[in-house]
Chains A and B, each alone.
Chain A
Amino acid sequence: MRILKIASVLMLFALAQVIPANGQCKTFAKKTCLPELGSYTHDGNYHVTTLTVGEEAELFKTFYSDMEYRLAVCGDEGLPPIEFTVIDANRNILFSSREANYPKYWDFRLESSQQLRIVLKVAPSGTQGEILPSGCVAIMFGFKIK
């Protein structure tokens, strides 16, 4: 009986580590990711999910000409760096955070409006055989008010 209790408690503890509560992700987005937008005004959209190491999320958005944007990507403290790749409609890679040493944001502007795809991935941590870290990942957009 004791083993049962211990096993249940351990498993619930493990689950609590693996699955961040929704409210936790919202707080994380506000407190950790929003400040990364700096002087850019947040557009107000909310894109947060929980990802485990190796998992991906994608986002499709139209960006407009003559606007100055900041794209900020943040992951929970316990996660390895979050890779983000910006891809155009012709599947050309316009920016890869991995090749830029994992910055948390990217500033850009466009000469003509484009629909872009952003792929987020929790980079592999190299810790095999253990419970894979999982946590909140947020992507936010800001623009300059003119």
Chain B
Amino acid sequence: MNKFLKIGNGVLALLFLFSLEFTGCRSGVKGEKTEADTLAFTRSDAAVYENIKQAEKIFYTLPSPLESAMLIKSAGAVFDEDLLNPVDNTRNYNTNKSMALNLGIYTCDLSFASLYDQTQLIINYMSAAKKMADGLGILDAISDEDVEKLEANIHDREVIMDIVSQTYMNSNSYLEENGQPAIAAIVLTGGWIEGLYISTRLVDMKDFDNNKLVGRIIDQKLSIDILLRLLEESKGHPAIDEIIAQVQKIKTVFDKIQVTTTPVRPEYDQAANVTVLKSEVKADLSPDVFTELARTVTEIRSNLIK
């Protein structure tokens, strides 16, 4: 009896240790301790910071293809089909890297077409994105039912947006949950570069100053460090290392842009029932630096869609 009890306790201890190990590793990425942990804070902020010690998981988030397309449209840009990656190129993508990059690129093109109500293009680009997802083995990211629903609601932008958002989430979640964060990061990178490419190509240089789209492009300076951090989590993966080198070239140009922001003041807008984060920003992007950025992004993007 005692012997069995001992074995039972041993098994319990082993299972307990296993459970600790398993729960500790489940996030895939152990959070890094941030500077904020060691800084002194004033006012009531200090009380909230007391509890911010160390994160179990850190997410680095880029604007999704849908958000990138929305940023372009809200800046008043016009639609230009010629800027999209032709769907015939799908046959050229046979490696995981090229399929992942172009899943992001086609999803961005699909989002762009969707926001501008380009019905036939929406169907074509959904099929192109599906080919990429299927090629990567992402089960049911874009099902036949999704395509049928899209076709049946082709004039209902809200439904289309929901389908695009859902299929993109399906791809992301599948890759994250099946231990493929590197591929997930490549998909996000493809979408981000496509959004930047389309934006830079749509800027009318005759109307450079106070151009809202130029402002959106400057905003991407805020995301490039997030992108690099995201990619660096999978450093050592050959495809990721190649992409980091490409993204570094874009960062070199972004580093030439100076952006200053005044402190953010949250103010509650009772009528709209939202908090407004008030602040002002100044940036100094010259036409020359913009041209260099556009050229760099175009070169990189043309390599991605080859």
Q: Are A91 and B19 in contact (CB under 8 A)?
A: no
> By the criterion of a CB under 8 Å from any partner CB, how many residues of chain B are at the interface?
79
Stretch at the interface among B95-103, B130-138, B241-249, B261-269: B261-269
Main DSSP-derived SS at the B contact region = helix
- 0/1 interface trace, chain B 1-22, chain A, CB 8 Å (1 if under): 0001101110110011001001
Q: Are B19 and A15 in contact (CB under 8 A)?
A: yes
- 0/1 interface trace, chain A 115-146, chain B, CB 8 Å (1 if under): 10101010000000000001000010101011
Q: Separation in Å of the A143 CB from the closest CB of chain B? A: 6
The listed residue (B23, B58, B73) touching A18 by CB distance below 8 A is: B23
Interface residues of A in 51-89 (CB under 8 A from B): 51-52, 55-62, 64-68, 83, 85, 87-89
Contacts of B277 in A (CB 8 A): 88, 94, 108-111, 114
The listed residue (A14, A61, A92, A113) touching B226 by CB distance below 8 A is: A61
The listed residue (B4, B34, B62) touching A58 by CB distance below 8 A is: B34
Cβ-based interface call for A101 (8 A): no
Q: Are B273 and A107 in contact (CB under 8 A)?
A: yes
Cβ-based interface call for B177 (8 A): yes
Q: Separation in Å of the A26 CB from the closest CB of chain B? A: 5
Residues of B within 8 A of A (CB): 4-5, 7-9, 11-12, 15-16, 19, 22-23, 26-27, 31, 34, 36, 39, 41, 45, 48-49, 51-67, 70-71, 73-74, 115, 157-158, 161-162, 164-169, 172-173, 176-177, 215-216, 219-220, 222-223, 226, 229, 261, 263-264, 266, 273-281
8 other contacts beyond A44-B164, A58-B58, A106-B275, with CB at 8 A cut-off?
A41-B161, A56-B54, A65-B281, A91-B36, A93-B45, A93-B48, A94-B275, A94-B277
